[in-house]
Every structure is written in C-alpha cells, then in structure tokens.
C-alpha cells in the first residue's frame, strides 16, 4: 500500500512541473485511469488480506493450543504413576541425554556447565574429595546445589544424583542417623552397605564386611531400612524404595564374591563353584532386594576367572532376572577400565563388555568424554542395542522418581544442625561399647581383671594407638587411606580414660616406655593400646597379619612387668597368640571411631561386655583361610566367642536416681542380649561427618 501511494504521489509531483494544457489533459486522463486500476488493486489486496488474516488467526490458535499442551509434561506430574512418568520422559530423550544419565563423574571435574552440556546423570566424591578444607555442612549443600542447577538448566531438567561413601554401622538406628547426617550435607545417595562375606582376614577390605558367616551379614542388611525407610505393606519385591527427604538411596556392594578372593587379595579371583557362590556370597543380596535397596555396585573381583564387571550371567541373568532387582547397577571406581589387564588398554571393549553385561551407570570418574564418545559410537554401530540403553536409563530414572528428586532436586540448610549432633555421638558411643569383645579376663578362671577400678594411685597408659584418633577411625577417614593423629573431632582412648577415672587417680601416658620406667613408677596397673595403622582396599592386603611394631615390644615390656589389659585396635583379627599369656585381659576393640568413651564405658564397668566375635580369630596365618564349619577348624578364639561382664554396682549406686532399678535392668540386659560384633568400622554417621567432611 505504501508503495502504491508513493508512486501516485510521484506522478502528481511530475504533473505539477509540466504547465502545458494538452499534456496536462492527457496526463490527467491517464492518471484517472491509473487511479481506478490502483483502487481495484487495493480492494483485491484488502480481500486477500482479510482471508490471510483469518488463516493467520487459525494458525495462531493452533500454535497456542500446541504450546499449552506442551507445558503439561507427565513426567513432571507427581500424581502420575512412576512408570507413566518414566515412559513420558524417555519418549522425549535423545541418545545423548540417555547416555548422560548413565554417566557418573567426580566432583573435581564437574561444573554446572559440564552438567548441562553432557547431561550428566550423577556425581560422586571419591575418598578425600571435599569442597574445601574443614568444609561445613553448608559448604557441601551449596556445592551440591550449584552443580544441580546445571542439570536443571538442561532441556528436560533431569536432576542429577550425588553419591558418597558412608560405610558405617550395622543396624536400623545407625542407618537412620547416617541417612540424616548425609542428607544434612545435601547428598541423597550413599555407597553402603558393604555386604561382603569376608572369608579371609588377609583381605584389605575385611573391616568393611560384617562377618565370615553369611547369616550374620544377612541380618545386618537391616541397615537398609534405616537408610532408605521401611518398605510399605504393598511393596513389590525388587522395586527400589526411598521414603523421604531425610532418607538416602542405599547401595549393596560389591556384587558378588568380593570377600572370597584367593588368599584375600583385593580385586582377585574368587574360586568357588556356583553352589558355593550362591550359598555364601549371594544371600545378603536377596535380603537387600527384599528391603528395597535402590542400587547395587559391582565388584572389581572375578568369579572363576570372569570379571564381575563383564559377567552377564550374574549381573543380568541372576541379579536382574532371577532376583528381580529393578534399581540400577553401578560400577565401582573405574570398574570397567579394569575389565582388561592392564586397566584401560582397550577402553572401547571395556565399555561394550560392561554395558552389555548389564551395568546401568558407570563411575567413570574423570574422562567422561571418552566414555560418552565410546558408548555413543557403540550404540550407533549397533554393537550395544538401544534396548540395553533404555533398560539402564529406565532403572536410573526409577530411582530418581522414587526418591522424589524431581520434586525436590535442591537441598536446603534445614538439616545442617543434625551434623555431629549429641544424640548421634551417643549412638556411636553405644555401638562401640556393644561391639567390643572381651577375649581374656584374668590369668585364671576365678581371677577376673576387668572391670578396672576407677580409683587407683597411678596408672600407666601405653601404646601407639592410645592417643591417636586417626588410628581409632581407620581408613575412609578424612582421606581415602585414613591418616594418623587428631584428624577430626572426637575423643581418644587416653582422653576417655582421663575423664573416666577418679579425680585422685594419676594417669601417666608413655607411648613406648622402657622396662625401667614401667617397674620404677609404682603403677597400679597398665592399659596398653596397640594395633594396625589405617588402610583401605589393596593397601590393606596383608599376608602375615603380624601386629605392627612397636606393638609387640610394648606388650612384652609393660605386661611383663605389671598387671595389664591390652586393647587391640584393628580392622580384623591379627597375630596375638605369642603375647596372650603375658596379658591379664585382652579386648578386641576393632575400629571404634571418634567415640573413645565407648571403650572406657565397659573397661571401667559402667556397662558390661556383651560382644561376640563375628569372625574367627586364628592362631597362625598358616591356618588361613579358616572359617567356622571348616573341617580343620582350630582357632585361638572361635566364631561367636566373647566373655561377658556385668556393670559394677559402684557405678550404678552413684548414677541417677533409681539405682536399684537401673542395676536390675542392666543385669537383665546382660542376660538376654549377646551382641555380635558386626561393625568393624564404627565411626558411624556422625563420624562420617566429622571424619569425612571436616
């Protein structure tokens, strides 16, 4: 229209500059004719415009309706069933988005941009991987949330799941405390419990195992409802269950046979027939699945020469198809790399073998682009079928939907005060005293040495582990391999002794005293605390299991001169037979973690000893492997052994108010309870806070 009017205006201007009448008449007639043509064209255009406007309105309405429908996404609606939500979301996902869900990377290589660009499905903190030195709960929450925001900014906004090790404790109450404190740091997923059946204490991960007896390990899967919540009455077997914002997704590990490797060598070969594997190492997985465990981690080890990370028969055939596990299967750290020897020599093959075996999520943890590219290529070449990818993603999404991660992807600071709270420390202390095992009490049957008197002129405390919090906690503490010294918040055994004895009792500490010092100082008795240094995994493999120096010499020097009780701090039985005759009393304290008062609670009779051995204490390593039920069974202390004592009346008469009733109740507890020593890593939930996070 503007063009037409502009052209007419130009003609008028042209006429205005020509004064000749004839020419003016001709131009006027021509202009009139042209004007009629212009008007006709205008009307035609107006009719066309009206028709176009009508269709444009229809098109706009159609687009508006389409946009309105797209805004309702079933997968974002918590009222829809989980299966409906999974299907709706998967129908929208590209291959890149699916493979991203199958990828778990270390926080050190993560950023919000990486999470967004690669659609990363999960993050983890490896041993010692923290937001910063002395990081607080708030620091953890803020770090997790910043990374989560990257995931939420993707096209579909699928939240990532953050995992971390929290291998502590052995029952429902401990599970609840662990879950609460892990959640307090903004993390919703723990790589626990370890349900290995340790058949040889030379294995460096034996302290992560509850027992050599699968029955005990099966009982200890009760930690799973503590971590995840109790499954409801209408629960379908095999489906993961996590009950709310103060619970975490658990991980049963390491599937399967990790505790049965030859000579206890970590990541080695478990040589046993199928019946042996299923009867010893598999039962606890059945219990875990019945309790709704969300994830299962595969073992580095092999079964009769076949790497578990590549074992389709057991991962898909037995775990998924026979046991009907519907959560997701995750690798161990660089687990698929170790399918080959040396690790990573043929990474593409490792990805192919691992994913086709039935692994759903790969703990990469660093070179995520190599893994993503390899898996993408294998799918595009039809080496790995799309059905296998869809199965993996379906399982991962099921866990995320079940735990409410889509509704509550970001952590808040409302739980930070739960970290290291007094009630949790008291629970840890209780677990310590119930887990101690009294192996010897007096040099004759009628000559009990324990409980020790709190009131004495002067007592000696000796040994490398008496005043070392890091040694009490063991591996997986602050750092992957643990460390020596006062590395976290807690109470050493020496500190606990000083606060427990009478104020008039002089406590003298000498780590490794000489014989003259011991004999010349008039000590009433001595407490010797020795044991293993911290270790984790392969670094803990030990073919001789001797007590590290100067432990043996300290025992000989002190116990050879005065009455003594020896406390062994270790993750497993060690060689002690040569020294037992020198001791008046012997206590297996395992790894008591941060709460040293749990040791003195029973040592001085505030509570009685009730713990029982959940693993055989051998005489010599030449006997190993040796487990209860073996034909050649000849232990120093047998499976299930543990002397008991009652709480002293002196303690009860001075306690609050109904001392007689308290004494009766305590005595009844001793009669009716025989606690198995099933937790060799008693740092517990609050110690995970104070040891792993601080």
Which residue numbers are catalytic? 332, 537
CA 110 to CA 124: how far, in whole Å? 10
CA 243 to CA 231: how far, in whole Å? 8
The tokens 């970001």 sit on which residue?
Answer: 410
Of 372, 394, 299, 354, the residue nearest 104 (C-alpha): 372
CA 298 to CA 287: how far, in whole Å? 17
Rounded to an integer, what is the distance from CA 266 to the centroid of its chain?
20
Reading the block at residue 87, the tokens are: 């299907």
CA 162 to CA 144: how far, in whole Å? 8
- Residue 475: asked if its preceding bond is cis (omega within 30°), the reply is no
Kindly report the three-state secondary structure assignment for every residue of 63-74. HHHHHHHHCCCH
Strand boundaries in 92-142, DSSP class E? 103-106, 122-125
CA 437 to CA 645: how far, in whole Å? 11
Decide if 628 contacts 616 (C-beta within 8 A). Answer: yes
The tokens 């993603």 sit on which residue?
Answer: 393
Decide if 476 contacts 165 (C-beta within 8 A). Answer: yes
Residue 213 sits at the vertex; the CA angle it makes with 543 and 354, to the nearest 5 degrees, is 75
Kindly report the three-state secondary structure assignment for every residue of 517-586. HHHHCCCCEEEEEEECCCCCHHHHCCCCCECCCCHHHHHHHHHCCCCEEEEEECCCCCECHHHHCCCCEE
Reading the block at residue 8, the tokens are: 């007419």
Of 129, 150, 137, the residue nearest 181 (C-alpha): 137
SS3 of residue 360 by DSSP: coil
Reading the block at residue 425, the tokens are: 């420390």
- Residue 256: asked if its preceding bond is cis (omega within 30°), the reply is yes
Residue 515 gets which letter from DSSP? Answer: H
Considering Cα of 602, then 608, then 613, then 619, what sign does the dihedral take? positive
Decide if 449 contacts 604 (C-beta within 8 A). Answer: no
CA 694 to CA 687: how far, in whole Å? 10
Of 453, 482, 456, 481, the residue nearest 470 (C-alpha): 482
SS3 of residue 252 by DSSP: strand
Report strand pairing: 302-303 vs 306-307.
Answer: antiparallel
SS3 of residue 683 by DSSP: coil
Reading the block at residue 400, the tokens are: 């995320």
């Amino acid at each position: 229209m503007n063009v037409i009017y502009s052209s007419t205006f130009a003609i008028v201007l042209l006429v205005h500059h020509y004064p000749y009448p004839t020419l003016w008449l001709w131009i006027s007639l021509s202009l009139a004719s042209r004007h009629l043509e212009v008007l006709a064209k205008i009307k035609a255009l107006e009719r066309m415009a009206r028709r176009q406007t009508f269709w444009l309105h229809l098109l706009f309405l159609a687009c508006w309706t389409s946009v309105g429908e797209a805004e309702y996404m079933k997968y974002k609606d918590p009222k829809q069933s989980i299966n409906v939500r999974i299907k709706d979301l998967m129908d929208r996902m590209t291959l890149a988005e699916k493979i991203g869900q199958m990828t778990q990377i270390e926080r050190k290589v993560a950023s919000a941009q990486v999470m967004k660009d690669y659609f990363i499905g999960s993050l983890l903190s490896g041993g010692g991987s923290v937001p910063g030195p002395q990081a607080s709960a708030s620091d953890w929450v803020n770090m997790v949330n910043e990374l989560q925001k990257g995931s939420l900014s993707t096209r579909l906004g699928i939240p990532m799941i953050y995992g971390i090790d929290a291998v502590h404790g052995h029952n429902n109450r401990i599970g609840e405390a662990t879950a609460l404190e892990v959640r307090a740091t903004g993390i919703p997923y723990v790589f626990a419990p370890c349900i290995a059946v340790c058949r040889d204490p030379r294995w460096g991960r034996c302290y992560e195992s509850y027992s050599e007896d699968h029955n005990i390990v099966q009982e200890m899967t009760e930690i799973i409802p503590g971590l995840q919540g109790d499954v409801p009455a209408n629960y379908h077997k095999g489906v993961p269950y996590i009950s709310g914002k103060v619970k975490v997704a658990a991980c049963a590990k390491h599937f399967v046979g990790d505790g049965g490797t030859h000579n206890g060598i970590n990541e080695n070969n478990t040589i046993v027939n199928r019946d042996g594997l299923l009867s010893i190492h598999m039962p606890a997985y059945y219990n875990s699945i019945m309790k709704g465990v969300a994830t299962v981690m595969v073992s580095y080890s092999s079964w009769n020469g076949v790497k578990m990370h590549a074992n389709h028969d057991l991962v898909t055939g037995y775990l998924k198809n026979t046991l009907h596990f519907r959560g997701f299967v995750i690798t161990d750290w660089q687990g698929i790399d170790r399918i080959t020897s040396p690790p990573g020599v043929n990474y593409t093959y490792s990805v192919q073998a691992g994913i086709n075996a039935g692994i759903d999520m790969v703990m990469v943890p660093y070179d995520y682009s190599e893994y993503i590219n390899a898996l993408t290529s294998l799918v595009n070449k039809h080496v790995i079928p799309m059905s296998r990818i869809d199965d993996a993603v379906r399982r991962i999404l099921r866990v995320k939907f079940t735990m409410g991660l889509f509704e509550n992807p970001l952590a808040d600071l409302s739980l930070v005060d739960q970290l290291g709270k007094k009630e949790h420390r008291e629970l840890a202390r209780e677990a310590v005293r119930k887990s101690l095992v009294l192996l010897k009490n007096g040099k004759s049957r009628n000559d009990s040495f324990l409980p020790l008197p709190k009131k004495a002129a002067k007592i000696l405390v000796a040994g490398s582990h008496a005043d070392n919090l890091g040694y009490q906690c063991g591996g997986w503490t602050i750092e992957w391999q643990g460390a020596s010294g006062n590395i976290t918040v807690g109470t050493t055994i020496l500190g606990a002794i000083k606060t427990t004895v009478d104020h008039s009792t002089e406590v003298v500490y000498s780590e490794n005293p000489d014989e003259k010092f011991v004999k010349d100082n008039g000590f009433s008795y001595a407490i010797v605390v020795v044991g293993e240094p911290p270790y984790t995994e392969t670094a803990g493999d030990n073919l001789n299991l001797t007590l590290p120096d100067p432990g043996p010499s300290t025992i000989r020097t002190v116990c050879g001169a005065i009455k003594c009780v020896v406390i062994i701090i270790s993750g497993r039985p060690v060689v002690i037979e040569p020294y037992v005759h020198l001791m008046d009393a012997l206590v297996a304290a395992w790894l008591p973690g941060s709460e040293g008062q749990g040791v003195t609670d029973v040592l001085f009779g505030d509570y009685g000893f009730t713990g029982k051995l959940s693993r055989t204490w051998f005489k010599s390593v030449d006997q190993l492997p040796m487990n209860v039920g073996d034909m050649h069974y000849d232990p120093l202390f047998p499976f299930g052994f543990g002397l008991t004592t009652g709480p002293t009346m002196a303690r009860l008469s001075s306690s609050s108010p109904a001392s007689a009733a308290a004494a009766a109740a305590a005595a009844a507890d001793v009669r009716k309870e025989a606690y198995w020593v099933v937790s060799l890593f008693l740092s517990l939930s609050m110690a995970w806070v104070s040891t792993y996070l601080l």
